[in-house]
Structure 1
Amino acid sequence: MKQVLRKGLKDIVVEEVPDPSLQPHHVLIRPAYSLISSGTETASLHQEGVVAELRHNPSHLQKIAGAVRSAGPARTFSEVKAKFGEYAVLGYSGAGVVAQVHPTVTDIEPGQLVAFGGEGSGHSETVLAGRNLVVPVPEGVPLDQAPFATLGSIAMHAVRIANVGLGETVAVIGLGIVGQLVAQLARLQGATVIGIDLRPERMELARRLGADACLTPETAGELRTMTRGRGADCVIVAAAAKSSAPCLQALDLCADRGRLVIVGAVPVEFPWHEMYLKEIQLFMSRAYGPGSYDEEYEKKGKDYPISYVRWTENRNMAEFLRLVGAGRVVVGPLVTHQFNIDDAAEGYKTIMAPGSRSLAVILRYPTADALPAAAAFVPRKRVDVRTPR
């Protein structure tokens, strides 16, 4: 099968690798589409080189220095050098047709259309996914929109953590994919939503999708005028940044005894005095919801009792797709580009390009044109490697 991999620090390649083997509490899926997470996935790509990365993240130097002290310079150099040639799996959001089901999974059938997620599921022609990270695609949801289930559940969990109430003002900093979805979901909760972003086209898109107002970081102070001097009841940081600027702005915009929710990949640094004076509540939103990073849940198929844990990863994914099918959350306009899997590197270049207006980038697979045949798929356990002469 073909799989998209990161080679070294910045190169995207598509390689032939063996199909995964079916495991207990898992299913094999032939994806038709997958979604590149422009924040999480590109964070591991260092296009500017090692020196620039160390400049942006000096803590890496401390790690290297610690490794030199504990393992010695020769071994440390060898391990750092190996990083330049290692491969890493990218991707965790997709949709396709179920090809094989392990006997321990009793409520999913071959031939069923599903969305899937999970670390390591990857952009590949065959995916092994845990049962609790797979949800059926409801009627009315186009298959090329179903890959949003994963990022949608991330946004949904952030809104749940925020405990948004009717009539509250919610500021969303960062209008990327997750920020756009957070804005729509917060509005469904009855909030007045104000989006904040640097890019005019993302602000305009958020307005079209229901945000009450949008501001730039420079004009974000107008939020106080809009709220009669109070500020936002809740600020959700959905930006990806290497500085603490989004968090500091969130604190400035937050009302007295307001709530800050961090869902984006940003350094979390706040001045104690200002946090204390405002008595700010700070929340971290972790992945898709309860079950995230729990091996018993994600890999061994052990669900949490619904009476005790109402909204798990799986239930968040299913609910998000229900909202899409009902037309209450709109994801179609978020898609700006689509590439075949063979051209995956171009997809990542499009996202990383400084002047790019990209947002959601979809990868398309041959299965999209042959869904019935995909259910009869037989995994290949070996890949023929030819030695160049």
Structure 2
Amino acid sequence: MHSAQRLMFVSSPAAPRVELESFPIPDPQAGQVLVRNTHTQVSAGSESNFLRCGPQSYGLPDGQLRANIGYMTAGRIAAVGPGVTGFAVGDRVVTSAAHASHSLVDLTPTAAIDPVPDGASDEAAGFAALGDVALHGVRRAQLQIDQSVAIFGMGIVGQLVLQLARCSGAHPLIAIDLVDERLELARRSGATHVINPSRENVVQRVQEITQGAGAEVVFHCAQAAGILQSAMECAADRGTVVLTSSPPGTATIRLKEELLRKELKLTGTYESGLTQSHVYWRWTRQRNRRAYLRLLASGQLQLGHLLTHVVPAGDAPAIYEMVLRGSTGWLGIAFKWD
């Protein structure tokens, strides 16, 4: 048995918290690999939803108020079970697993485990799951060269959507956020224009930037459900609004003025059932993750300027206290499990 550590998340409206605990992990059995994680990456929106809003907001059964969650890790294979092919001890990989020093991965046909190419650091490669989310949203938008794009929310997903939209040839690229430091990072990610709605009328500014047309594609990458109405107001006639975040709660929208008269298309992105390629949709989650890793290794995607905190896992309780206080002072977060 291996000695390991993991983070336990405790959901509570009054006192949400994160604790570090030890746990035993068995040797891998047939068809399994054991990964010794160097880093686990924070999905701030999803994990904050669990802490503040309860397990159902994270997709867990109601009542499961204490859980080991997370879904992005990077490390090296420490051991392989009998019959394993395609992976060997020492291979660098990213996996879909919770925050822990070790992850046991079942190598099923749909297992989320991918090799890390040379040129991609562990702390950046581990964000492949969010790279998959962002790339799926861009694919669903069917972006065209010189198509105007506005993005609400400059967290990691919003920043990756911005960079992928730039790779797709979209222009102009309008970044929208309430936090100035995130807007400055968005400029480094390729934004041609930035808007802080606390100081400017966001709909009016988008109209000015697009010569009165509105943005042809608007991405909702924020944690505030109510932004949907503003996103629709910013959209051009027959434009598309793509929901790439997972905001809890409900949104109120005007049906006639925007959805009906502007003939908008609202697109959700959740990737249900996309573990296998299909003739009408070839972009599986694995293919998206590996595309993210390739673009990262080649330098076409840049994550270094977005990583504000790469800290020991023991600092996790203080990190989540910071995240729950608000959006200032942090962006990309990864825990080290040395």
Give the counterpart letter for 2:196 in structure 1. Answer: T
Q: 1:105 to 1:311 in 2, by over 3 A?
A: farther
Q: 1:4 to 1:229 in 2, by over 3 A?
A: same
Q: Could you tell me how far apart the structure 1 residues matched to 2:293 and 2:117 are?
A: 7
**1:265 counterpart = 2:246:** yes
**Pairing of 1:334-345 with structure 2 (within 5 A):** 334-345=306-317
**1:321 counterpart = 2:293:** yes
Task: Judge conservation of contact 2:35–2:102 (CA < 8 Å) in 1.
Answer: yes
Task: Judge conservation of contact 1:32–1:364 (CA < 8 Å) in 2.
Answer: yes
Q: Which residue of 2 aligns with 1:240?
A: 223
Structure exhibiting the larger radius of gyration computed from Cα positions: 1
Matched length: 318
Give the counterpart letter for 1:162 in structure 2. Answer: A
Q: Which residue of 2 aligns with 1:215?
A: 195
Q: Could you tell me how far apart the structure 2 residues matched to 1:229 and 1:160 are?
A: 26
Which stretches of structure 1, 4 residues or more, deviate above 6 A after TM superposition?
none
Shift of residue 26, structure 1, vs aligned partner = 4.3
Task: Judge conservation of contact 1:290–1:312 (CA < 8 Å) in 2.
Answer: no
Give the counterpart letter for 1:125 in structure 2. Answer: S
Shift of residue 16, structure 1, vs aligned partner = 1.1
Q: Which residue of 2 aligns with 1:137?
A: 116
**Relative to structure 2, which stretch is displaced further, 126-135 or 164-173?**
126-135
Q: Could you tell me how far apart the structure 1 residues matched to 2:246 and 2:130 are?
A: 14
Out of 70, 88, 102, the position equivalent to 1:91 is 70
Q: 1:247 to 1:355 in 2, by over 3 A?
A: closer
Task: Judge conservation of contact 2:10–2:51 (CA < 8 Å) in 1.
Answer: no
Task: Judge conservation of contact 2:156–2:332 (CA < 8 Å) in 1.
Answer: yes
Shift of residue 11, structure 1, vs aligned partner = 1.6
Q: 1:257 to 1:348 in 2, by over 3 A?
A: same
**Runs of at least 5 residues in structure 1 that lack an aligned partner in the other structure:** 47-52, 55-59, 61-78, 298-303, 367-389
SS at match of 1:224: helix
Out of 179, 182, 187, the position equivalent to 1:202 is 182
Q: 1:214 to 1:130 in 2, by over 3 A?
A: farther
Q: 1:95 to 1:291 in 2, by over 3 A?
A: farther
**1:6 counterpart = 2:9:** yes
Out of 95, 107, 128, the position equivalent to 2:104 is 128
Q: Which residue of 1 aligns with 2:233?
A: 252
Q: 1:275 to 1:39 in 2, by over 3 A?
A: same
TM-score by length of 2: 0.87
Q: 1:263 to 1:104 in 2, by over 3 A?
A: farther
Shift of residue 88, structure 1, vs aligned partner = 0.9
Q: Which residue of 1 aligns with 2:133?
A: 154
Q: Which residue of 2 aligns with 1:285?
A: 269
SS at match of 1:352: helix
Shift of residue 348, structure 1, vs aligned partner = 1.2
**Pairing of 1:1-389 with structure 2 (within 5 A):** 1-9=4-12, 10-19=16-25, 22=28, 26-46=32-52, 86-103=65-82, 105-117=84-96, 121-131=97-107, 132-192=111-171, 193-217=173-197, 218-220=200-202, 221-241=204-224, 243-244=225-226, 246-266=227-247, 267-273=250-256, 274-286=258-270, 289=271, 291=273, 297=275, 304-305=276-277, 309-354=281-326, 356-366=328-338
SS at match of 2:40: strand
Kindly indicate whether structure 1 or structure 2 has the higher relative contact order, using CA contacts under 8 Å at least 6 residues apart. 1
Instruction: Provide the identity percentage.
Output: 33
Q: Deviations over 1:293-335 (max 9, x none)?
A: xxxx5xxxxxx24756422111111110100111101001111
Shift of residue 109, structure 1, vs aligned partner = 1.9
Q: Could you tell me how far apart the structure 1 residues matched to 2:31 and 2:273 are?
A: 15
Q: 1:355 to 1:223 in 2, by over 3 A?
A: closer
SS at match of 1:358: coil
Shift of residue 225, structure 1, vs aligned partner = 1.2
Q: State the Cα RMSD in Å.
A: 2.4
